[in-house]
């Protein structure tokens, strides 16, 4: 369970987050919808501990993240992972090295021991197979298409099997077919890891396909949260616009 209460964040003279409140249920895919530039990505960076709020609290599985010191946050977020908007792959590493990076840098979450190279190699192979990138181990990020880089970023995320997964605009810049492939991979990953996922997007079609619940981010706050059918009936100018542009049916 993730509980966010009265979260405020200001950059210069502009309040990006304005007393934001949100609860994320364990085991769900929560999709946060909103226009570009309203602070959805800022919220994700606060949840994973990259940024500190000016005011308010974030509690994750009983731990008050906003009260932790930097070194404590480093240990607290080890069971969390984030797919950044630009995939954030290391340009100087091939896909196998990118995918293995976390496993080589950290001890196993469960055993607290370093994994031997042959185990890491097998885990990397399985993660790449899961996202349909088998055979790309020795390719560089520059050799891959935008959609393939997204999938490589997803493989790097799921290889250590985090229980909380954050996705920052996972389909931005992709064509409709590739976007839908990424949507399906996110749902597949959720079913495989049985974790808790938060996806931020402005793409209503992707949102409706993936979401167990939808949240509307507007004016620095979450103004409405509901399951997809009820969410789309809410009378709000943004939702009305999204409803008119709906194309894909919801996941089965």
37 has pLDDT over 60: yes
- Number of H helices and number of E strands within the chain? 9, 10
Q: Is residue 156 a contact partner of residue 98, using CB atoms and an 8 Å limit?
A: yes
Q: Please give the average per-residue pLDDT across 65-94, as a whole number.
A: 88
**pLDDT higher at 247 or 154:** 154
CA-wise closest residue to 42 among 161, 159, 217, 182: 217
Mean pLDDT across the chain: 90
198 has pLDDT over 70: yes
pTM of the prediction?
Answer: 0.90
For residue 71, give the H/E element and its range.
Answer: helix 70-76
Strand partners, 222: 217
Q: How many residues does the chain have?
A: 252
Q: Which domains, from first to last, does the chain contain?
A: 2-244 (3.40.50.300)
State the pLDDT at residue 247: 60
148 has pLDDT over 60: yes
State the pLDDT at residue 252: 47
d(Cα 58, Cα 4) in Å, to the nearest integer?
5
d(Cα 49, Cα 66) in Å, to the nearest integer?
8
236 has pLDDT over 90: no
State the pLDDT at residue 34: 87
| Chain centroid to CA 20 | 18
d(Cα 61, Cα 100) in Å, to the nearest integer?
27
70 has pLDDT over 50: yes
State pLDDT tens for residues 94-103.
Answer: 999 999 999 9
Q: Please give the average per-residue pLDDT across 222-240, as a whole number.
A: 90
Q: Please give the average per-residue pLDDT across 52-58, as a whole number.
A: 95
């Amino acid at each position: 369970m993730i509980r966010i209460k009265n979260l405020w964040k200001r950059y210069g003279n502009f309040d990006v987050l304005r007393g934001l409140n949100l609860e994320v249920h364990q085991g769900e895919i929560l999709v946060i919808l909103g226009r570009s530039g309203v602070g959805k990505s800022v919220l994700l960076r606060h949840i994973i501990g990259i940024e500190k709020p000016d005011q308010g609290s974030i509690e994750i599985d009983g731990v008050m993240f906003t009260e932790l010191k930097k070194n404590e946050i480093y240990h607290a977020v080890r069971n969390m992972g984030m797919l950044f908007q630009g995939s954030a792959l290391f340009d100087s590493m091939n896909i196998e090295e990118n995918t293995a990076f976390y496993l080589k840098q950290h001890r196993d979450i469960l055993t607290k021991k370093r994994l031997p190279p042959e185990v890491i190699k097998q885990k990397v192979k399985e993660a790449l197979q899961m996202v349909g990138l088998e055979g790309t181990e020795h390719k560089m990020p520059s050799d891959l298409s935008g959609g393939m880089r997204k999938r490589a970023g997803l493989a790097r995320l799921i290889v250590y099997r985090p229980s909380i997964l954050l996705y920052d605009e996972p389909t931005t810049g992709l064509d409709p077919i590739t976007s839908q492939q990424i949507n399906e991979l996110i749902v597949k990953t959720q079913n495989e890891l049985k974790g808790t996922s938060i996806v931020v997007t402005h793409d209503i079609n992707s949102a409706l396909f993936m979401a167990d619940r939808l949240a509307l981010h507007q004016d620095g706050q979450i103004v409405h949260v509901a399951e997809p059918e009820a969410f789309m009936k809410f009378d709000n100018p943004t939702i009305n616009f999204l409803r008119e542009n709906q194309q894909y049916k919801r996941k089965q």
